[in-house]
Amino acid sequence: MTNTLHRYGPRQEGDYIVFAIPARGINDAGCEDKLQAFLRLASRFNPVNMGNGKGGSLFRPERSLNPFTWFTKRRRHKVSPNRVIEEIKGPCTAAATFDSRDAVCAVLKAVKEADLGMSVNVSGPIEGTYNAAQEAGITPHSIEYSLEFHGRLDLLPEAPVLELITMCGHGMVSRHLARKVAFLVKEGRLTSEEAAIYLAKPCVCGAFNPAKAQVILEEMRHWW
């Protein structure tokens, strides 16, 4: 089961998450090196984000901020892939997010060849994911579907906001932050790329797709 299944909206292509995770009591002993090796493989194929469930993603919040540093160009928004990899200490989830099916196919081929002994899942559109697996010489043993949202849908945020915040399956990206940065993009006070980075920061696992967020934020310029 993965929380990355519940991404809302029609834009599914160009949004893939590949992640490795050990099983407690089965292959978690000494898994640190294998998880690091997985992310090193993934980093060769230009992920738009990556992270580990305990240390954080490429995009990080900053500890020393005040109202005057919100728009400064000197802020450090991103850490190196090597830092994300080296921060893996013990069992955790290691994830890499891609905006290309071809990149996912290449990652799967490399992971298959490396034979790390870790469970590897791919979250993305069914057809694209299945085709990537086939091209990599892998037969998926199971497929899990999200059943969408049910109940009082009128209580949910607006559709484009929902598209943005569900890219963090743990619910760490606030709808209020999504609306705020979208409005700043419309005003010209942030670029869509900068706004996407702000939204990516609260997602510790690295499953948030800033490339997809940038497209959504550009469309939201005409939302008001």
Dihedral sign computed on CA atoms, order 205, 211, 212, 214: positive
For residue 165, give both structure tokens: 């915040």
Say if 147 falls within a structural domain. no
| Residue 184: domain span | 3-141+152-222
Say if 130 falls within a structural domain. yes
Question: Tell me: the pLDDT tens digits for 170-205?
Answer: 899 999 999 999 999 999 999 999 999 999 999 999
Residues in the chain: 224
Say if 34 falls within a structural domain. yes
By CB atoms closer than 10 A (0-12, 13-18, 19+), residue 58 is: buried
pTM over 0.85: yes
pLDDT averaged per 10 residues in sequence order, the chain, 224 residues: 80 90 89 95 96 91 71 74 93 94 96 92 91 91 84 92 94 95 94 95 94 96 81
Which pLDDT does position 3 carry in this prediction? Answer: 79
Domains held by the chain: number:
1
**119-123 and 94-98 beta bridge pairing:** unpaired
Say if 11 falls within a structural domain. yes
Say if 131 falls within a structural domain. yes
Say if 73 falls within a structural domain. yes
Question: Tell me: the pLDDT tens digits for 27-42?
Answer: 888 899 999 999 999 9
Say if 146 falls within a structural domain. no
